[in-house]
Amino acid sequence: MSLENKPVNRWARHFRQAFAEAGVILVAAMVLGIGNTALHKQGLFRESPANPPLSESMSTFISLEEARSLFESSQALFIDARHEYDYNLAHIEGAVNLPIQSLDANPGLLVSLPRDKTLVAYCDGQECNSSVRLAEKLIEAGYTDVKIFLDGWNAWKSDSSRIEVSAR
Partner 1 sequence: MDYLTLAGRLIIGFIFVAAATGKIADPEAFAQAILNYKVVSGTSVLVFATILPWMELLAGLGVFFGVATRGSSLILSGTLMIFTVAVASAVMRGLDISCGCFSADPAVGKVGWTRVGENLLMLAVAIFLFCSKSTSMSFEKLLLQRLAPNHGDPKRAQSD
Strand partners for 92: 163
65-124 positions binding partner 1, by CB under 8 A = 83-86, 89, 101, 124
Interactions with partner 1, residue window 131-160 (CB under 8 A)? none
Rounded to a whole number of angstroms, the minimum distance from the CB of residue 112 to partner 1 is 24
Q: Residue 48, exposed/middle/buried by CB under 10 A (0-12, 13-18, 19+)? A: exposed
Backbone angles phi, psi at 47, to 5 degrees: -55, 120
Least separation in angstroms between residue 118's CB and partner 1 is 26
Binding residues for partner 1 restricted to 12-71, rule: CB under 8 A: 14, 17-26, 28-30, 32-34, 36-37, 42-44, 46
Who contacts 131 (Cβ-Cβ below 8 Å, separation ≥6)?
A: 81, 121, 122, 123, 148, 149, 150, 152
CA–CA dist 130, 150 (Å, integer): 10
70/95 with CB nearer partner 1: 95
Contacts with partner 1 by CB under 8 A lie at 14, 17-26, 28-30, 32-34, 36-37, 42-44, 46, 83-86, 89, 101, 124, 127-129
